[in-house]
Amino acid sequence: MNFVWSRAAAMARKEWFHIRRDPFTMSLALVMPLVMVVIYGVAIDFNVKNVKLAVSDSDQTQASRRLIDTFSSSGYFRVRRDFSPGQALDDLVAERARAALIIPPQFEKNLWSGRTAEAQVLLDGADNSTVVPVSQYVNTIQTLASERIAGADMRPPYDLRTRFLFNPELNSRWFIIPGVVVVIMAILSIFLTAMTVAREWENGSMELLLSTPVEPIEIIVGKALPYASLGALAVVFVYIIARAAFGVPFRGHLWVFGLGCLIFLLTYLAQGLFISIASKQQTLAMQLSMLTGMMPSVILSGFVFPIASMPKFFWYFTMLLPARWFMVISRHCFLEGSSFLELAVPFAALSLSCLAMTALAAHKFKRTLE
């Protein structure tokens, strides 16, 4: 095989003309990263705030008012007063409130007479996304309220203090945006490569290309270069937004992150090429890249859903997905400042996927041409 850079460069130049003149490709490359960062960075927030709390206070005492005040001053709840427990429940059922606090009569009396003063918190169990964080808030508020109502005497015999490393405020944007990098790169690289090679098959130009002395590897490299550049540009773009607009810290080494990006990009470019060769049709290539590229990188990479809580089969299955490993690299580079050695396992797994996918695509391409 005789690789000639000038031929690969000619392919890349031609591809660049296609990209520049195709509104779909341009918008996918330029607008999609912006839209995704905005959607994931601004609209999606795991930090549940301003939870509407329907409160029924049948005690109407200083102690009950302090309990309610502890909820409202926490910043997590917005209190809505109701006249009866039934009305509070109705508000919860009708989704006018997402939690209800019911304080029975005798609350204060029980408190001062040494009996346990009971109040009830009702949560909408059907709304799984809020019920877990809200119940955590309730636990914290319970401790705080005990201190405020009963004074220092009520303090528990031990003091378990929790500190969150790397993301002290548990800011979900810090967690999400390094993951958005993975999703954007996955979509850009797999989608565009799958489409561009399928287009050459579909309109018959692949046959013409192969009738010239151009080598298949020159076609692949020439086609991949502009899309790899677009992918790299998207990463820089997301990195700047992450740092400047969302204040996400970057504690690792840029070269480690860059190397991870490069290997991940190559893996997905190869996967896009494989899809393209196997399908030879743009529509099918688009569907397959959606199925095998976009969905796993969103659902099975740990981007939103934690891999640790997946069933055993999926836990093992995700090991085959390059997005899972790059997700680890990206988050660790941004938030934990991990070194290359600390990320040796994800790097090794990602490199293995890259080699396997490149070999598979090259083999399929060669077989198809034969």
Question: Residues 39, 84, 207, 359: which binds other proteins (CB under 8 A)?
Answer: 207
Window 310-369: residues binding other proteins (CB under 8 A) = 369
CB of residue 208 to other proteins, shortest distance in Å? 5
Q: Does 309 bind other proteins (CB under 8 A)?
A: no
Q: Does 120 bind other proteins (CB under 8 A)?
A: no
SS3 label, residue 54: strand
C-beta closer to other proteins: residue 240 or 369: 369
Q: Does 4 bind other proteins (CB under 8 A)?
A: yes
CB of residue 21 to other proteins, shortest distance in Å? 5
Backbone angles phi, psi at 88, to 5 degrees: -65, -40
Which DSSP string corresponds to 146-199?
Answer: HHHHH-GGG--SS------SS-TT--HHHHHHHHHHHHHHHHHHHHHHHHHHHH
Rounded distance, CA 271 to CA 275, Å? 6
Residue 287 CB partners (closer than 8 Å, separation 6+): none
CB of residue 31 to other proteins, shortest distance in Å? 20
Residue 34: Cβ-neighbour burial (10 angstroms; 0-12, 13-18, 19+): middle
Q: Interface with other proteins by CB under 8 A: which range of 36-44, 201-209, 299-307, 339-347?
A: 201-209
Q: Interface with other proteins by CB under 8 A: which range of 14-22, 102-110, 170-178, 295-303?
A: 14-22
C-beta closer to other proteins: residue 57 or 200: 200
Rounded distance, CA 72 to CA 70, Å? 6
Max Cα–Cα distance, the chain, nearest Å: 95
Nearest to 173 by CA among 34, 41, 303: 41
Q: Does 144 bind other proteins (CB under 8 A)?
A: no
Q: Does 203 bind other proteins (CB under 8 A)?
A: yes
- Which residues contact other proteins by CB under 8 A? 2, 4, 6-7, 9-11, 13-14, 17-18, 21-22, 203-205, 207-214, 369-370
